[in-house]
Structures are given as structure tokens and as C-alpha cells.
Amino acid sequence: MKVRAVAKRILMQLRNDKRTLALTLLAPLLLLTLLYFVFETAEDTLPIGIINVPQKFIEELYQNNAVPIRCQSPSDIEKGEVTAVVTMESGRVHVWIDGSNSSKAGNAMKAIEAAGKGMNQRRSDLIPDVTYVYGAEDMSLFDSFASILMGLLVFFFVFLISGISFLKERTTGTLEKVLSTPIKRWEVVAGYVLGFGTVNVVQSAVICFYLVYVLRVLMVGSIWLVLLITLVTAISALTLGILISTAANSEFQMIQFIPLIIVPQAVFTGLFTLPPELEAVGRAMPLYYTADALKAVMLKNAGFMDILPDLGILTALSIVFAIINTNLLKRYRNI
């Protein structure tokens, strides 16, 4: 009877807590639907640039799940539209390849080699001469995704810790006490951002230096730019975490937001090959720009001006989240 009474009390609490009930039932369905579209529409073909190659070679590329795209020069690979560029001069095959994604690079090389063998199996001179524009031949899969994982980890922990901390300030009455003093709402938000931001600087530095100097992941760009990107990412995660915490009534509910806020963003960071329609959805998410900037610096030696658009969008999102947070504080005090 006592067990039944406890179980009945829990069920009654869940029935009255419609927000928790909705997150428990609907969040897994939304996540499964997203993953369904990702895997069902994932592209299994690779765009490969071609310059002065025979028609037979083009046909063989099609047979090996590659999409030949005519290019003007090997430098077209820097635009990100093709994984590799193939040219043929004096019977020799030259390949320029983007090795920033070792999985795609490996598949592209297999398709090119298979196409060369299929065109003429007797010609040994069709063994390609390979030049890596980005990355290296011996680059591991972890090197390819380390930049994405770095941004994901920074965003995840900052979002969760800042959200739960702000929620605790609100539920314990600390926030109301702070607002009872002569302080403006924007000063409260700025104070939280500055306080948590100081810790985030240390966290970002620890993660960055550990990946580069302990795990020895590939780093061809400036480590200071990487630190700048992770710091801006942490601020956007911080302001978003505070914003989402206003919709939660407990730490448990805050954790339940992870499948809705974090996991979908992870899908659109480059871990999966997505069609253009789904990639367009990812452009509305902060982690998309974090991953893009980190990959550009760590794997492609991008400079500050190259990543400035990504940093600008992340900063703009942080400002928007901070403004919304400031307005939401009206429920506690209208200042």
C-alpha cells in the first residue's frame, strides 16, 4: 500500500506538471524525426571537380558514387564546392584533395582510383599524383572532427551549467534579492555574463590546450584564434542557457531541454553529410558557426578576416539572447 501511495503521488505530480510530461513524451519523437530526415536524405555521393579528363573517366566516376563537376582550376576546392579536383596532363592523373574531412577524402580517393582503373586497367601511369590542399594523408578521423567536438563540448557545458546556476538563483530567491537593490535589469544580465564568462575563459583554454598539446590533434592555424572562437561560443551558450532556464522550474527540466537545444545543433555542425535544404536549417543555430570557424582555423589555417562573419553572427546571437533575458526580468521587477 505504501509503494502504491508513493507511485500514485509521483503520477499525480507528473500529471500536474504538463511541461515535464510534454518534454518526456515529445522530445524523443522530435529528435527521432530529425535523425530520420538526416539519415534518409544524407548524400552518399561526392562532388569531384574535373579538368581536362576523358569522357570515359567521367562515366567511371558516376559508377563509383561520385558527381563530376567541371572546374576552372584546382583552387576551386577552396570554395568548398568539391571534395577533390582531378586533372589529366600528358597521361598523368593529378589530384588535389580537401583532407579536412578524412572520411570524405578517403571516399573521394577510392572513387578516383576506381575510375582510373575502370577506364584502362593496363595503364600504370593512371596512379594519381595526390596533393592535399587541406589536411594530410595520415590525418585521423579524430583530427577531422576534433574542431567540431571542441565547440560542441564548450557549448554544452556552458549552456547546462549557466542555465542550472541561473535557475538555482531564481528558485532560491537570490535573484529577487538582487533585484530588490537599485540595479538595472541589463546590469544583472551583464553581471552574470561577466561572472560566468570569466570561468568560461579558463574552461575554453583548458579544453583547447588539452586537445592541441596533450591529444596532439592537427592544428595548422593560430591557437589564439581558436581561443577567441571558443570564448565567443561560450558567451552565446551562456546567454542562451540563461534564456532557456526561464522556461524551466527545476534542474530536471533544464536537463530535459538538452535533446531539444543541444542535440539538433550537433547534427548540423558537420558530423553528417547533409543536403543543402537541411544545411540551410543549421544556419539558424549558433553551433553551426562555431564549427565552421573552428574547422577553418584548425584545418585550413584561416585568418581573422576569414572567420569574422562567423564571429559576427555568434556575437549578434549573444546580444539578441541578452536583450531577451533583460526583458524577461520584468516579471521580477519593472526597472
- Tell me the average pLDDT across 104-118: 79
Examine the fold and report which residue of 99, 134, 169 is the final residue of a domain before the chain moves on: 134
pLDDT(122) > 60: no
Q: Which three-class secondary structure state does DSSP give residue 136?
A: coil
pLDDT(205) > 90: no
Same domain, 69 and 160: no
Give the pLDDT confidence score for residue 42 in this predicted structure. 59
Same domain, 80 and 116: yes
Same domain, 130 and 158: no
Give the pLDDT confidence score for residue 229 in this predicted structure. 93
User: How many distinct structural domains can be found in the chain?
Assistant: 2
Give the pLDDT confidence score for residue 17 in this predicted structure. 66
pLDDT(84) > 80: yes
pLDDT(96) > 80: yes
pLDDT(187) > 90: no
**In sequence order, which residues have a C-beta less than 8 Å from that of residue 36 and are 6 or more positions away?**
none
Percent of the chain topping pLDDT 90 = 11
Same domain, 273 and 218: yes
Task: Return the number of other C-beta atoms located less than 10 Å from residue 231's C-beta.
Answer: 19
Give the pLDDT confidence score for residue 225 in this predicted structure. 93
pLDDT(217) > 80: yes
pLDDT(138) > 80: no
Instruction: Give the pairing of strands 129-134 and 92-98.
Output: parallel
**In sequence order, which residues have a C-beta less than 8 Å from that of residue 119 and are 6 or more positions away?**
54, 56, 57, 60, 126
Same domain, 244 and 277: yes
Domain annotation covers residue 324 = yes
Beta strands across the sheet bearing 84-89: 66-70, 46-51, 84-89, 92-98, 129-134
Same domain, 202 and 252: yes
> Can you tell me which residue has the cell 519523437?
29
> Picking from 16-30, 93-107, 133-147, 236-250, which range would have the lowest pLDDT averaged per residue?
16-30
Same domain, 204 and 105: no
Q: What is the mean pLDDT of the chain?
A: 80
List, for residues 245-271, the tens digit of each pLDDT value. 877 777 777 887 887 888 888 887 877
Q: How many helices (H) and strands (E) does the chain have?
A: 13, 5
Domain annotation covers residue 118 = yes
Query: Would you state the cell numbers that stand for residue 122, as one nine-digit string?
Result: 593496363
Q: What whole-number distance in Å separates Cα of residue 112 and Cα of residue 64?
A: 8
Q: For the whole model, what pTM was predicted?
A: 0.81
Task: Return the number of other C-beta atoms located less than 10 Å from residue 1's C-beta.
Answer: 5
Same domain, 56 and 156: no
Check which CATH number belongs to the domain holding 54 and give it.
3.40.190
Structural domain boundaries enclosing 89: 46-134
Cα within 13 Å of Cα(296), Cβ side: 21
Task: Return the number of other C-beta atoms located less than 10 Å from residue 189's C-beta.
Answer: 23
> Picking from 100-104, 221-225, 264-268, which range would have the lowest pLDDT averaged per residue?
100-104
- Tell me the average pLDDT across 310-328: 90
pLDDT(186) > 60: yes
- Paired residues of 295 in beta bridges: none
Examine the fold and report which residue of 85, 109, 134 is the final residue of a domain before the chain moves on: 134
pLDDT(71) > 60: yes
Residues 325 and 279 sit within 8 Å (Cβ to Cβ): no
- Tell me the average pLDDT across 92-107: 80
Same domain, 161 and 278: yes
pLDDT-derived band at 297 (thresholds 50, 70, 90) equals very high
Q: What whole-number distance in Å separates Cα of residue 273 and Cα of residue 41?
A: 9
Give the pLDDT confidence score for residue 335 in this predicted structure. 45
Domain annotation covers residue 30 = no
Give the residue with greater pLDDT, 294 vs 128. Answer: 294
Same domain, 202 and 302: yes
pLDDT(274) > 80: no
Examine the fold and report which residue of 119, 134, 149 is the final residue of a domain before the chain moves on: 134
Angle at the Cα of 169 (from 164 to 174), degrees rounded to 5? 175
- Tell me the average pLDDT across 168-188: 78
Same domain, 85 and 146: no
Cα within 13 Å of Cα(71), Cβ side: 27
